[in-house]
Structure 1
Amino acid sequence: MSRRILGNARDNGQWCLLIRNLHNYLLVSSVTEELVRKRAEHNNCEISTLEEISLHQQDIERIEHLDKWCKDLKILYLQSNLIPKIENVSRLKKLEYLNLALNNVTTIENLQGCERLQKLDLTVNFVGDLLSIESLQSNLHLQEMFLTGNPCTDYDGYREFVIATLPQLQWLDGKEISKSERIIAIQKLPHLREKILEQQTAYEVKRALEREMEEEKARRRAEKQPGFDGRWYTDVNAHTSIDDDEVTGYTPESRISTHRHIAEKRSETGQKRTEPQQKKKERLLVTEDGRILNINEGKYDFSLKDSNDDNQFELDLECPRFMDTSLIDCVVEPTHVRVKLKGKIFQLVLPEEVSPDSSSVKRSQTTGHLLITMPKVREVLKPAKVVNKRLPMQETRDVDEVKMNYLEVDPSLAAKKPDIYNVVNSNSSSNKTHNGSTSQSSEQCSTNSSNDTFVDNPEVPPLI
């Protein structure tokens, strides 16, 4: 094929154009098994049982292999590619949704075998052959179709023709089809078809002119390449500018040309990025003489507490509350502690040497703070505390009873009953005998009885 194409070249300008087109042909991306398996990660990379696959934005220029590898496909995403023709999908009997938006499709074809097709999206393509929708009449389950952004939508009577041609449709371009709208469209169908055919013929003539213009522009761009003056040598010192302000229409050819130009630029920038670059200067943690530095790149608040009672240091570092713990790395050294929080380093020199093996790190679930406990290596001698041991209440009572037993002088006196009447000494003037006290009480009663207000109640016992 290359011999036949190159044999038709007449001058050096066409030779350069053909070589450039051959280079662009090599840039074509295709559907490979590696690509399909990569996109089938949700199915454990198995493509034989794959039911859904997304191949959008892969610079694909041809649909192939999917009808052989993935016969169980139900959903196929192919939007934002460079596909000019619908092909190799007729064997996908289970296909229900096909998305070909933002491609270069010009004709609706080769979908008769998709028996279960329910939704077809051809938004922003180059479909000018509106009569090609008649091939979808055998897709009885087709309920929704999108043709927005295609040249055929500018035809007079476009919507009515589609509705009348495909009676199974329920939605067109996101708008539901009513029963009255369908009846009116079916009545106008014979007249609409002739009208659509005329507009379609005019569009095909326009497209032929656009293709010629694109070929002419491509030829002129090739001739304006730096260093090309019709002879086969390159002058590296010669610089001629290409007219970048040249107006380009929106056509399949211009879209492919723009895409390939962008791909070339990306490949050039990719080569530049692969060149060795200077490594980012690392943060200095220790000086040349071995002195450890205090660093707080994230400017986090912290507090270091010297707990003499527990013989340890306690570092409270205020980490961001919602930072994932997997982004925090803590290292305790004998002389310092280092914490890396999402790439930012916090390093603090400790006043005394600590034991890294006995250290512990905890994080609060409410505040997110990081608590690092670091026991000291040197032990602190502390005076023993004097503890006042108090006996229990029962033991105290037992001791008192023992002491009371030892207060008795003569054990023989314990058997005698105490004389409650002779507790006070008899020499006391105030002491009275039992009879005397009785007579005194009777005298008081007699004196009280002499009182006018006194009433003697015989039921009241006398005072002793």
Structure 2
Amino acid sequence: MVRITEDLIRKRAEHNECEIYSLQEISLHQQGVERIEHLDRWCRDLKILYLQNNVIPKIENVGRLKKLEYLNLALNNVERIENLEGCESLKKLDLTVNFVGELTSVEQLQQNQFLQELYLTGNPCTDYDGYRQYVVTTLPQLKTLDGKAIQKTERILARQEYEEVRRKIIEQQKTYIQKRLKEKEESERKAEAQEARTGAQPGFDGRWYTDINTHQSDSSNKNGEGGKEEEEDEEYWKQQVGYTPESRLEIQKKIEEQKRKKEGIEEEKPKKQRNLFAEDGRPYNVNEAKLDFNLTDNEDDNVLLLDVAAFRYMDTSLMDVDVQPTYVRVTIKGKILQLHLPEEVRPDSCKAVRSQTTGNLLITMPKANQVVKPLKVQQEEKKTTRPTEPPTEKSRQAFERLEVDPTKSKGVDFAAITAEKHKPAQQPFGTVTSRPAERPNSKDFVDDLDVPPLM
């Protein structure tokens, strides 16, 4: 079974940066815990404690948790409510689906003045006649029992019948205790029979045989052991057993046993260590990562360039580069890329750069043997000039340009846009309306004022 250790608590305290002393909430559910221990000394500031779905048979080692407000022990093997007097701040206690048959142990919660919620659903004590009336009267500080609010009238009525209800509860409790004693005796007999069956040597009945054929059948029996184990496991899970603390504990042990078998069938084989060097010390070329690479010799700069096509979105922290005078090693996620260099390089002057667009890794390795080369002088090209020649007719024609009348151009004169507004509007056909010219008067014309003007 699993025990509560410091490593287990630290693993479950990641939300508190793995600090134990200041831990206020922890969840140890479904861990196969068989006993509550060490929490009252290591986690004094606990306020919420989850221990559901384990095989804890007894409430213990929680009296020093003065700040504990919520204790969840659902789906365990608790048979009695005890050792909670020291939890002064306890407000909620969940004992759903346990084996609490001693209902009178509820009286020990009278000292927990701040207790407001209590859950006992799924326990044998809930089948007793007068169960709710007894708990409501015994614990006057309760506000909720099994998820149902306690009314004031309900409390008054339960208090009136308290003595009679308590007497019935004690009688039913004695009957249940006798039943539990029988269940314990029966489980002990089954356990002894199981040990005797597994402890006996298979195939040996106390007599010796000299028949050779029996030895030949031993090999076939060994081959069939795996099948028999599977059949036994199948029969075990099909058989009907009572729902008792012993049966739950046995099932938990069976589950852990099968888990250990599965883990032990094939132990993790150590990875084969690849030889990176020959017996004479010469480095091998190894590409475990199966990455594309390009090793070039740049004679102009006297360096070796190694371009490794690393994964584009891989974090650079997963890469490691080791440059030695005769080889270079690139480790990517534990996979090695090692190359033997054609020339010796200077490891202290090497440089590794990674592209931000493609993710490629470029390693620049200066050679150990430096080569002195003359500087390249860029010769300026001499400008050739031709002698001046008198312009000929062809040259003149080459520079002749077509003269265009500026008035004929169709370009828009933006400066004259406002001036065009004062021009008379043109008719659709382009004619401009104007006043007709008057005909001159004849020589014999006499202007008579008595004659009215023509309209």
Task: Indicate whether the TM-score tops 0.5.
Answer: yes
Note the alpha carbon deviations across 1:380-404, whole angstroms, 9 max, x for none.
Answer: 73562225499xxxxxxxxxxxxxx
The one-letter code matched in structure 2 to 1:386 is Q
Q: 1:303 to 1:188 in 2, by over 3 A?
A: farther
Q: 1:389 to 1:280 in 2, by over 3 A?
A: same
Cα distance in structure 2, aligned partners of 1:359 and 1:152: 78
Q: Which residue number in structure 2 is paired with residue 325 of structure 1?
A: 316
- Give unpaired runs (5+ residues) of structure 2: 209-217, 383-455
Q: Which residue number in structure 2 is paired with residue 372 of structure 1?
A: 363
Q: Which residue number in structure 2 is paired with residue 363 of structure 1?
A: 354
Map 1:141-220; keep pairs closer than 5 Å: 141-147=114-120, 149-152=122-125, 166=139, 168-169=141-142, 175=147, 177=148, 182-183=151-152, 185-186=154-155, 189=158, 193=165, 203-204=176-177, 206-220=179-193
Cα distance in structure 2, aligned partners of 1:303 and 1:165: 83
Cα distance in structure 1, aligned partners of 2:207 and 2:61: 44
Deviation at 1:86, TM superposition (A): 1.9
Q: 1:313 to 1:36 in 2, by over 3 A?
A: closer
1:107 paired residue among 74, 80, 86: 80
The one-letter code matched in structure 1 to 2:373 is L
Note the alpha carbon deviations across 1:236-283, whole angstroms, 9 max, x for none.
Answer: x99998965354333211233344556677788999999xx9743222
- 3-state SS, counterpart of residue 187 of structure 2: helix
Deviation at 1:149, TM superposition (A): 4.8
Cα distance in structure 2, aligned partners of 1:293 and 1:69: 53
Note the alpha carbon deviations across 1:346-366, whole angstroms, 9 max, x for none.
Answer: 223445443322211233456
1:252 paired residue among 245, 262, 265: 245
For the aligned residue pairs, the C-alpha RMSD in angstroms reads: 5.1
Note the alpha carbon deviations across 1:35-85, whole angstroms, 9 max, x for none.
Answer: 8899999799886x8766666677654546765776655444545544322
Q: 1:65 to 1:327 in 2, by over 3 A?
A: closer
Note the alpha carbon deviations across 1:296-352, whole angstroms, 9 max, x for none.
Answer: 322333344544443323323233344443432211233432111111112234454
Q: Does 1:301 align with 2:292?
A: yes
Q: 1:162 to 1:323 in 2, by over 3 A?
A: farther
Cα distance in structure 2, aligned partners of 1:286 and 1:43: 43
Deviation at 1:105, TM superposition (A): 0.6
1:386 paired residue among 378, 388, 393: 378
- Indicate the percent of aligned positions where both proteins have the same amino acid: 53
Q: Which residue number in structure 1 is paired with residue 113 of structure 2?
A: 140
Cα distance in structure 1, aligned partners of 2:195 and 2:88: 47
Deviation at 1:162, TM superposition (A): 5.7
Tell me if the contact between 2:136 and 2:158 (Cα under 8 Å) persists in the aligned partners: no
Provide the TM-score with structure 1 as the length reference. 0.57
The one-letter code matched in structure 2 to 1:210 is E
Provide the TM-score with structure 2 as the length reference. 0.58
- 3-state SS, counterpart of residue 83 of structure 2: coil
Q: Which residue number in structure 2 is paired with residue 428 of structure 1?
A: none
- 3-state SS, counterpart of residue 108 of structure 1: coil
Q: Does 1:87 align with 2:60?
A: yes
The one-letter code matched in structure 2 to 1:118 is K
Matched positions, count: 354
Q: Does 1:315 align with 2:306?
A: yes
- Give unpaired runs (5+ residues) of structure 1: 1-27, 391-464
